[in-house]
């Protein structure tokens, strides 16, 4: 179901971006370029933000948030349990970054100043991740800061791969700090 939802969102963005061929789609969303050296900054920031959130949670100052994919992974026995990690670790970074930073952020940025565009994308992220935002202040803080970092990456790079790698590192690090593999 997650794949269908992401595909529908991506096709809608592709339609409004007026892409007609795969090449224009890749070029329009910044997927045809290699990651820049700033990708490492994004990965480092993702790990720092995840670490900060984890320290707040283990100190008892806030509660953590889980989701369907993590719960299904924990409660399923056998190798098929790893299929529940695909939406979290692979699909979300590629599809969300293509839509959020490849289309929505650029659309806002073409009409508004930098900080207004970032604020609108943070509001969009809050709307689409409301379960996490409403359940824990540290999750809301972490998601807002990582969104700002990803908007910065998109601002400084023509490649959306920087944002995808940052998102991937943020989501994948949850598997280790969230006691999923322990």
Residue-range domain boundaries for the chain: 2-177
Residues 155-165 as b/e (b if ≥16 CB within 10 A, e otherwise) read: eebebbbbbbb
Pick the more confident residue, 7 or 62: 62
Which range, of 20-34, 42-56, 86-100, averages the lowest pLDDT? 20-34
Dist CA 82 CA 142 (whole Å): 25
Residues 70-107 pLDDT 10s: 778 778 888 888 887 887 888 889 989 988 998 889 88
With residues binned 3-state (H G I as helix, E B as strand, rest as coil), the percentages for the chain, rounded to 5, are 75, 0, 25
């Amino acid at each position: 179901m997650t794949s269908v939802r992401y595909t529908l969102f991506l096709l809608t963005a592709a339609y409004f971006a007026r892409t007609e061929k795969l090449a224009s789609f890749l070029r329009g969303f910044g997927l045809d370029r290699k990651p820049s050296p700033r990708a490492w900054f994004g990965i480092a920031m993702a790990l720092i933000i995840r670490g900060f959130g984890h320290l707040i949670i283990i100190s008892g100052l806030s509660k953590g948030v889980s989701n369907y994919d993590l719960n299904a992974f924990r409660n399923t026995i056998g190798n098929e349990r790893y299929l529940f990690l695909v939406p979290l670790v692979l699909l979300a970074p590629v599809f969300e970054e293509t839509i959020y930073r490849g289309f929505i952020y650029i659309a806002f940025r073409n009409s508004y100043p930098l900080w207004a565009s970032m604020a609108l994308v943070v509001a969009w992220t809050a709307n689409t991740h409301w379960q996490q935002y409403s359940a824990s202040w540290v999750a809301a803080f972490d998601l807002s800061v990582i969104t700002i970092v990803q908007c910065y990456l998109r601002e400084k790079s023509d490649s959306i791969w920087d944002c995808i790698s940052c998102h991937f590192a943020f989501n994948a690090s949850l598997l280790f700090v969230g006691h999923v593999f322990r």
